[in-house]
Amino acid sequence: MAVDLSRPEYYINRELSWLDFNRRVLEEALDESNPLLERVRFLGIVASILDEFFEVRVAGLLQVRDSGVAGTGPDRLTPDEQLVTIARTTHELVDAQYRCWNQELLPALARQRIHLLDVEDLQGEQLAFIRRYWHGELEPILTPIVIDPAHPFPRVLNKALCIGVLLQQDGHTALGVVTVPRVLPRILRLPDTDDGKLRMVTLSAIVAHHLSELFEGYQVTGGGAFRVTRNSELYVNEEEADNLLEEIAESLENRRKGDVVRLEIEDRAPPRLVRFLTTQFELSEDRVYRADGPVNLNRISTIYDLVQRPELKDSPFSPVEVSLPADPDRFFESLRERDVMLHHPYESFNTVIDFIRMAVRDPHVLAIKQTLYRTGEDSQVVEALIDAAEQGKEVTVLVELKARFDEASNIEWAKQLE
């Protein structure tokens, strides 16, 4: 009997599959058999994956819908149907994230004498530390804005942490906004005390505690942290671009200013503030996500680095080093005898780096050709290739400039390789 492969139930929607994967990552955060700080990091990963999902996949679907394209894929779901299902699923996922944080991880951290506190919970030297930090590090770099005809609503960059504030002065109500710079850590570890407890506080909590000082002359009647996610896809016409590198570099500047696709805001934010921001960013209600905790859960991953408790983490993984002949002649002779297969990350990538460096040193090697997709900020591979070119070898490198969210790093390496 022939199978009708056109039936939509045989196909899994790509976007919904992405969310299913994210739910499996969340299950790792809920799994009590995982070390506690690994669970915290898994929850941060869930938030990071959702960021990219909205920046690219949801943004793309919104553009398809707004362009009037009515076609469907093999699953027969229209862009509108996908967006409705995505909204319902992601709201459920976000609610589950914060339940995990508030009901599972925060109590588990407290049992380990690790506490994430509000400034109001502090006293003594720790409160004095926050005051010194506020006056010395934080307050000088903040720019509070009161919205009025002379000061329109500021341009909020992609994923920037902001605080919206309701203000009153002489019977009149106003809205204030302050953006928290990214140069400062989002979670601050407080000085240790004799009780052996490790205490931390979020940067947004410090700002919220001092809002009346920022907006001097106004009465603060309410507020809440918020964050917008913007369309971050690059739109470059590769065929018409005279210089692809420059075109992509220019598009990167615009990435932070794309259309808003999601608003995250603290659950405690006043309804008036939520309505104002929803209107300001031209969002429907289903694209507003309430945060029952830190607005950006991705930032809680820094707790992993702030807490030096090996028993609350997985044992460090050390890949196996594969030994190869150090002499170039013997090395290439061994390759002629048999192939060498490396399994990453179980076997060390150092073998690949050693191989390239050996080719750089070998006087018999005249040319090196390499393809680079994702490179780190400190790439030993690129450094070796630059060394080879400086030694007079013919080096040809194909760099993928559009490796998503690694474009800036790849552009810098491409410039150096030129």
> How far apart (Å, rounded) are the C-alpha atoms in residues 383 and 399?
14
Is the pLDDT at 328 greater than 80? The verdict is no
Q: Is residue 188 domain-resident?
A: yes
Of 312, 343, 359, at which residue does a domain stop? 312
Same-domain pairing of 74 and 221: yes
DSSP class of residue 297 equals G
At 385, which CATH number? 3.30.870.10
Q: Residue 71: which CATH number?
A: 3.30.1840.10
Residue 320 lies in a domain: no
Kindly state the average pLDDT of the residues 111-129. Answer: 93
User: 154 and 205 share a domain?
Assistant: yes
Residue 244 confidence (pLDDT): 46
Indicate if the pLDDT at residue 339 is higher than 90.
no
Residue 318 belongs to a domain: no
* Domain count across the chain: 2
Q: Which parts of 53-190 fold into alpha helices (H)?
A: 59-66, 79-99, 106-111, 124-133
Q: Are 401 and 244 in contact (CB under 8 A)?
A: yes
Asked whether the predicted pLDDT for residue 176 surpasses 90, the reply is yes
Residue 321 falls inside a structural domain:
no
**244 and 176 in contact (C-beta within 8 Å)?**
no
Do 302 and 395 fall into the same domain?
no
DSSP classification of residue 184: S
Residue carrying the six token digits 């018999």:
364
Same domain, 177 and 270: yes
pLDDT > 60? residue 243: no
Structure tokens at 130: 């926050």
Of the CA atoms within 13 Å of residue 276, those in its CB half-sphere come to: 18
The SS3 call for residue 72 is coil
Specify the pLDDT at position 110: 97
Greatest mean pLDDT among 51-55, 169-173, 249-253, 367-371:
51-55
| Residues linked to residue 172 through DSSP beta bridges, in sequence order | 169
Domain membership of residue 366 (yes or no) is: yes
d(CA 38, CA 42): 6
Residue 332 shares a structural domain with residue 368: yes
- Higher-confidence residue of 247 and 383: namely 383
Element (H, E) at 199: strand 198-202
Cα Rg of the chain, angstroms? 26
Strand partners, 116: 200
Look at strands 187-189 and 114-117 and give their pairing: unpaired
Per-residue pLDDT for 252 more than 60? no
Contact predicate 258/59, CB 8 Å: yes
Look at residue 255 in the predicted model and tell me its pLDDT. 46
Q: Is residue 126 part of a domain?
A: yes
Domain containing 264: what range?
A: 8-234+246-312
Q: Are 187 and 206 in contact (CB under 8 A)?
A: no
Is the residue at 1 inside a domain? no
User: Token pair for residue 78?
Assistant: 């229209």
> Is residue 245 scored above 50 in pLDDT?
no
304 bridge partner residues: none
264, 390: one domain: no
HSE-up (13 A, CA, CB side) for residue 192: 6
Percent of the chain with pLDDT over 90: 54
Higher pLDDT, 417 or 359: 359
Decide which of 23 and 63 is more confident.
23
Across the strands, what pairs with 257?
A: none
Mean pLDDT score, 232-261 = 56
State the average pLDDT over residues 102-130.
94
- Looking up tokens 């939509």 gives 8
**Nearest CA-CA partner of 48 in 273, 323, 290, 302:** 302
One-letter amino acid at 130 equals I
Any idea which of 29-33, 269-273, 284-288, 384-388 has the lowest mean pLDDT?
384-388
Same domain, 193 and 98: yes
Q: Same domain, yes or no, for 96 and 131?
A: yes
Same structural domain, 63 and 120: yes
Give the lowest-confidence range in 190-194, 244-248, 353-357.
244-248
Q: Are residues 30 and 169 in the same domain?
A: yes
Question: Of 312, 347, 368, which one is at a domain's C-terminal end?
Answer: 312
Q: Does 371 lie in the same domain as 272?
A: no
The mean pLDDT value of the chain amounts to 87
Q: What is the mean pLDDT of residues 89-105?
A: 97
Decide which of 258, 280, 312 is a domain's last residue: 312
Q: Which residues contact 300 (CB under 8 A, 6 or more apart)?
A: 40, 43, 44, 101, 187, 294
Residue 253: what pLDDT? 52
Q: What does the DSSP assignment read for 336-381? A: HH------TTTB-THHHHHHHHHHHH-TT--EEEEEES---TT-HH
> Region 64-73: what's the mean pLDDT?
76
Please report the pLDDT score of residue 404 as a whole number. Answer: 57
Q: Tell me, yes or no, whether 158 and 193 share the same domain.
A: yes
Q: What is the mean pLDDT of residues 64-75?
A: 77
**Length of the chain (residues):** 418
Poorest-pLDDT segment among 147-151, 188-192, 259-263: 147-151
Given pLDDT bands bounded at 50, 70 and 90, which one contains residue 100? very high
The pLDDT of residue 124:
87
Establish if 105 belongs to a structural domain.
Answer: yes
Give the per-residue pLDDT at 241: 46
For the chain, the farthest-separated pair of C-alpha atoms sits apart, in whole angstroms, at 87
Q: How far apart are CA 214 and CA 196, in angstroms?
A: 34
At residue 383's C-alpha, the angle toward residues 377 and 384, to 5°, is: 145
Task: Tell whether the model's pLDDT for residue 69 goes beyond 90.
Answer: no
DSSP H or E stretch at residue 174: strand 172-180
